[in-house]
Chains A and B, each alone.
Chain A
Amino acid sequence: MSRRRSSVLVGIVGCAAAASLALSGCTPGATSSATGNNAAPTGAVSTDAAKLGHVTLNVLDYFSGGVDNAWMKAVVTAFEKKYPNITIKRTSMSWGDVMQALPLKLRSSTPPDIVPANNGWQSLGTLVQGGLVLNLDHFAQAYGWKQKVPQSILAEHEFSTNGKQMGTGSLYGMPVARSSMIEAYYNRALLKRIAGGVPKTYNDFVADLAKAKAAGVTPIAMGNVEQVGVTTPLYSVMNALGDQKSIASLIYSHGSSSISNSKSGFPQAVSQLADWAKKGYFTNGFGAVAGADAAQAFVDGKALFHFDYSGSLPLKPGQSKQFGSFVLPRNDGKPAVATMSSATNFSVSAKCAHPDAAAAFLNFAASPTAAQLATNLGTDPMLDPSVKASGSDPLFADDVANANSVTTHDASVPYLDWATPSLLQTIEVKMQDLLAGKTDVAGVVSAAQADDSKFRKTIS
């Protein structure tokens, strides 16, 4: 390469790079202070959507396929039938795409009106801090959402107006009438073979595990090679042994509860899982088993129990008759507590031109009608305990009963990983270390505590 040409090229590249730097040379992120525009708007709310005139609402969702899409489609159709003056324009993207694009979309001059911001600090929390989503308090009052939705569910969508506190303060999103919860699945035939029963108490469950092991049946199907498999049993045991309020307070970083305190159930759950691993209660070689393989092995009848999200077993048509589900019972006999949230959070963009219409849709998506549409499609409902599973699928009947029980008893806790942006990863890594004998229970607990304390400093 001649020196002359290379110097020209270097010059061009240099100029372009410098120019691009100059172009991007402003501080990234929202420039306006977030707290200024986060108060609830005042003024009359029109709850009669039929009188709002012709309105088009742009809705972004991650219900891009399967029963997700079918439910959303049914809800939109029913809503438009009820309010012919409102047109819903949906855009569906995969979950990952939505999460990556959401901040940019909301900052654009024409954002979608309704967006599926994920609960927790990472998505909804930062959007509230950035003043990008609407405070829905006045709508909550007008529609009576605080009376209709169990507080433990509603709290998952609440933030203080400065975005520094979660699970309290104003409402920045609404749940929909479809749940996503962690359940324990069981194999009916295997349970009969080991002469066990569907656990009514925590001790029943532990007894079933021991019976299964003694009978040569793998007690719990679990695959942890992707690090995430251990979280479903961990959260479930935590909910069974800890105190519901303390767990919620911990996840919302309210400061009144810490993860290393036994009230959170975390230390006991960690040590319980380590004990089960030692006793060989999990899938053989679970540390190297893929999560999907473990779920498949459970469906193939190779294990008694399996913890997973509702509706996520890889079942073939007709197979569901072989299985049942329950929420892990608590050790103190109180109603079972489940890690559960709405299948999506729907928030309204701060720039939405028709907030009344948007609120009407949010209200409809959380209504008993929407819950009934969910059960009709065979997916877990929420918020309306009176809906019954249609058809004769015993597993789905269990799922609906579980979701209804949690709604009735206001017994949900949010996902532990909402607590801090990095807690899930910290716990996953340390749990792997623990189950491989590289650290002890105290090591896991102190690492989680350190992660939590570090995060709390940033929000206080």
Chain B
Amino acid sequence: MAQNSGRTLYDKIWQSHTIEILPTGQTQLFIGLHLIHEITTAPAFDMLREKGLKIAFPERTFATVDHIVPTDMRSRPFLDSQAEELTQALEKNVAQFGVEFFGLDSDKQGIVHVIGPQLGLTQPGMTLACGDSHTSTHGAFGTLAFGIGTSQVRDVLATQSLAMDKLKVRRINVSGTLAEGVYAKDVILNIIRRLGVAGGKGFAYEYGGAVVEKMSMEERMTVCNMSIEGGAWAGYVNPDETTFAFLKGREFAPKGADFDRAVTYWKSVASDPNARYDDVVEIKGSEIEPTVTWGINPGQAVGISEKLPLPEEFADPEGARKAYEHMGWQPGKPILGTPVDVAFIGSCTNSRLSDLRAAAKIAKGRRVRAGVRALVVPGSAAVKALAEKEGLDRIFAQAGFEWREAGCSMCLAMNPDKLKGREICASSSNRNFIGRQGSPGGRTILMSPAMVAAAALSGKIVDVREYLK
């Protein structure tokens, strides 16, 4: 093959899933797996009823509840009548339309982007859609995974397909190694900082290089999860032995000889060594330090030892000024030492077992600073059970963290877990948007789960490496 004539994973999956080119010029793309939750689906089912349509492939849609569920008292009916009503709407819809549902009483319940991989539903070489922008998470498996709106949820239900436009592909090589105390979260925050929150517009991001190849599946999920924060509709990692080993034995993964045939297919979808990319970006892993956000979007991030940047350093100084106005701190000062009121470990970005282990390692034998409200919200019922089996819940509880039931929780504060007033939250979630954590004046500082644990113990933003010595 000639140089750079090969195909990317994106090209291959796009081609094999193309149904036809529509009169509009869009591609009708087959969607292999559809995940739904309570928030973005009720009107989609209403639209199906209005149009008199049924679900085309009901066995390819799976449902759970995550966004709205309380993480302390889960008894029904929920205290929040709206949450109860929305949950009942989903329960009614999945029953009426014949969709498999992992409800609150199921040991498979959890954040939709945690349970898909955990159950082996998410597989390489698939297209996957879900009415949630962090669907990019599933790209960690070499899956083309798209976040969609409610009208598109309706289309997937009715036709198992979407009208889409093809994206370009940007390869992001993270070379070298990461220092101790530097995590997958720091890698993706640095990528977004460098390329910008709109830098990925029109692109799918393909993550590779030595750092990504060495990552566990959970770390790859953290990276792919935040692709959308960089403006990329999808992000993925080519499937490899790490991917196959993760999937082997999972409930919905193929078994025995079927698994071997699956591996052959999964290997075939990886980007060719001579694949042609629309853009290539190089990032040195050794230059990444523990990273935190200082502003109101995930691209406004700094290394922990850096000073807060001046608005004039940005292409959009007005945007930086608005961020400072909301956050209430001064350019040129260190972020280190900023006091925190709340510490949140959870979300589809960082609520998996390895995240909880990393945080527990910091918390073990120490105490949350007086006055700090700290909570740990496992990503799924299964993650919670596994963590409890190895005693992580006791480590957290002894340190003064609240140990909760699975859900999205304070990432977007649709349940009772919310910031109050001007509280500052050290958060392992994915968005530091104004008002995101439930208080219009609330302030979010994004970081890795280990950094959140360190902030909870210190009552301020610290360098987690101090705790790893």
Partners in one complex: no
**Which B residues are within 8 Å of any A CB, using their own CB?**
none
**Which A residues are within 8 Å of any B CB, using their own CB?**
none
